[in-house]
């Protein structure tokens, strides 16, 4: 692009303390509105009455006889529920020594489990994968009529004449001339029997996978997948604990993100809306910035609800939901000198009090014991 002057514009986000100071009037108004909408004694009494009414209506509904369709639907929902899948998969899990196996509604779990149970001796030599989880999906190449092939059954022939069966067989195997008017989509090819998403540690197994294919996966990649799942499980447990710690130290009523306030690598919402999904790495980024200056942010955020948004989005006040939207990378734009003093103060408090809390407890106990002796 000769003759064109290209200018590079550097965009810098506002500091969170500066933004909170300029929005302090609205933030205080949100806090007052939240306190005004808190339930009182009368509201809790109404909720208790509604609860007992719902219990009575549920009991009366249970006494009503169910129709045949409702029974089938209820039984199907029970089998496909997480508890139903857990109960059905116990026999297979005892054979394979896995942690958990789940499956889609259209996947043939019974056929898959029966093939692996029949080959019990082939899996006895593998070690126990106590922290290994897998998900069963339907094979898209499997025929809807039968797993053996896609050839349709012969039509009902009333008068069987010599050569009729031979004509039907040759007609079904004869190559048809392609036509532009009537185009049929080719059959889907069979994907790999086992697919691994290494970022989330998710394992997808086809319901048509043979015992040899499953055994090959266990002998080659299952150990590394188990290590990834164990690490991710530990990170998620630590993240939940740190979220509770941040909520208490910031004095906020809740820290929310995403639709269901969850953030896991194997969450399906992450694939549906990756641009607005707050990942565990984003949550960790917010926790590191918030816990290092918790006393400073507590002055502005106490009694509020925080909604975490992806990095790059601006700060916002959601007046309808009474939430403060904060990007998870707010610490990268903390350029005021007050942050340095807050980080130093938090480091001193963590080093002298929080990490040495047991030591101070023992010292105070010894001092109290000496005073009692005196």
Q: How does pLDDT run across 266-316, given as a tens digit for each residue?
A: 777 787 888 889 989 999 999 999 999 999 999 999 989 999 999 989 999
* Distance of alpha carbon 80 from alpha carbon 82, whole angstroms: 7
Going by pLDDT thresholds of 50, 70 and 90, the confidence category of residue 10 is very low
- Determine the Cα angle at 352 with ends 348 and 355, to 5°: 110
Q: Which helix (H) or strand (E) holds 165?
A: helix 164-173
Backbone angles phi, psi at 350, to 5 degrees: -65, -40
DSSP notation for 318-357: ETTTTEEEEETTGGGG--SHHHHHHHHHHHHHIIIIITTH
How confident is the model at residue 206, as a pLDDT?
Answer: 93
Cβ–Cβ < 8 Å for 117, 89: no
Question: What do you get for the CA distance between the two ends of the chain, in Å?
Answer: 89
The count of C-alpha atoms lying within 13 angstroms of the C-alpha of 98, restricted to the half-sphere facing its C-beta, is 25
pLDDT at 363 over 60: yes
Going by pLDDT thresholds of 50, 70 and 90, the confidence category of residue 260 is confident
Q: Which of 250, 243, 302 is nearest to 278 (CA)?
A: 243
Q: How does pLDDT run across 73-90, given as a tens digit for each residue?
A: 666 666 677 788 888 888
Using a pLDDT cut of 90, give the percent of the chain over it: 26
pLDDT at 372 over 80: no
* Distance of alpha carbon 207 from alpha carbon 106, whole angstroms: 10
Average pLDDT, the chain: 79
Q: How does pLDDT run across 87-141, given as a tens digit for each residue?
A: 888 888 888 888 889 998 888 899 999 988 887 777 878 888 888 999 999 988 8
* Distance of alpha carbon 328 from alpha carbon 160, whole angstroms: 75
* Distance of alpha carbon 196 from alpha carbon 205, whole angstroms: 9
Q: How does pLDDT run across 142-198, given as a tens digit for each residue?
A: 754 444 444 444 455 556 667 666 676 666 555 566 565 555 555 567 888 999 988
Phi and psi based region of residue 312 (left: phi greater than 0; alpha: psi -120 to 50; beta: remaining): left
């Amino acid at each position: 692009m000769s003759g064109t002057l290209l200018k590079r514009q550097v965009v810098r986000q506002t500091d969170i303390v500066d933004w909170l100071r300029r929005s302090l009037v609205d933030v205080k108004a949100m806090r007052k509105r939240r306190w005004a909408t808190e339930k009182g004694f009368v509201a809790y009494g109404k909720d208790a009455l509604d609860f007992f009414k719902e219990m009575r209506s549920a009991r009366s509904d249970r006494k009503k006889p169910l129709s045949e369709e409702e029974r089938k639907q209820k039984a199907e929902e029970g089998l496909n529920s997480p508890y139903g899948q857990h109960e059905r998969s116990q026999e297979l899990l005892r054979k394979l020594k896995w942690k958990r196996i789940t499956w889609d509604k259209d996947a043939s779990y019974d056929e898959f489990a029966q093939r692996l149970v029949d080959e019990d001796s082939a899996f006895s030599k593998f070690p126990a994968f106590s922290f290994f989880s897998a998900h069963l999906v339907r094979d898209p190449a499997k025929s809807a009529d039968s797993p053996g092939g896609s050839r349709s059954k012969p039509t009902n022939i009333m008068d069987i004449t010599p050569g009729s069966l031979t004509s039907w067989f040759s007609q079904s195997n004869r190559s048809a001339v392609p036509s532009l008017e009537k185009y049929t989509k080719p059959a889907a090819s069979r994907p790999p029997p086992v697919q691994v998403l290494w970022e989330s540690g998710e394992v997808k197994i086809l319901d048509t996978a043979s015992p040899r294919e499953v055994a090959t996966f266990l002998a080659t990649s299952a150990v590394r997948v188990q290590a990834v799942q164990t690490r991710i499980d530990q990170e998620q447990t630590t993240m939940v604990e740190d979220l509770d710690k941040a909520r208490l130290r910031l004095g906020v009523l809740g820290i929310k993100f995403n639709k269901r306030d969850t953030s896991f690598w194997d969450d399906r919402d992450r694939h549906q809306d990756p641009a607005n999904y707050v990942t565990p790495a984003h949550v960790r980024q917010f926790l590191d910035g918030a816990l290092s200056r918790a006393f400073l942010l507590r002055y502005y955020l106490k009694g509020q609800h925080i909604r975490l948004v992806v990095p790059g989005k601006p700060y916002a006040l959601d007046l309808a939901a009474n939430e403060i939207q904060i990007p998870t990378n707010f610490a990268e734009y903390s350029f005021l000198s007050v942050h340095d003093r807050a980080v130093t103060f938090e480091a001193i408090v963590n080093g002298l009090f929080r990490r040495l809390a047991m030591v101070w407890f023992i010292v105070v106990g010894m001092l109290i014991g000496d005073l009692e002796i005196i």
